């Protein structure tokens, strides 16, 4: 898939665990894990906004397009 999810990279930069992010964003661990591993088929803008707010980043820091 040409969309790469760099959530784990941003979490590492902010020294934040998946549990902590889950609590702050209000998503289940399983949903965040699906997103983090790149297995998600879609993401809501409200979810992306909440993650960006907590990690103090831009959507482009989390999502990347890579031409195959």
H helices of the chain, in order, are 7-13, 18-25, 29-36, 45-55, 59-62
Q: Rounded to an integer, what distance in angstroms lies between the CA atom of residue 46 and that of residue 18?
A: 18
pLDDT at 24: 96
Helix or strand or coil: residue 3?
Answer: strand
Q: What is the pLDDT of residue 63?
A: 95
**pLDDT tens digits, 1-42:** 689 999 999 999 999 999 999 999 999 999 999 999 989 999
pTM: predicted TM-score of the whole model, two decimal places: 0.90
Q: Kindly state the average pLDDT of the residues 43-56.
A: 96
Q: Which domains does the chain have, with CATH numbers?
A: 3-58 (1.10.260.40)
């Amino acid at each position: 898939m040409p969309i790469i999810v760099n959530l784990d990279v941003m979490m590492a930069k902010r020294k934040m665990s998946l549990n902590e992010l889950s609590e702050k964003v209000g998503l289940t661990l399983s949903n965040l894990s699906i997103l983090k591993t790149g297995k998600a088929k879609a993401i809501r803008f409200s979810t992306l906004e909440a993650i960006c707010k907590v990690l103090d980043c831009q959507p482009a820091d989390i999502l990347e397009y890579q031409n195959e």
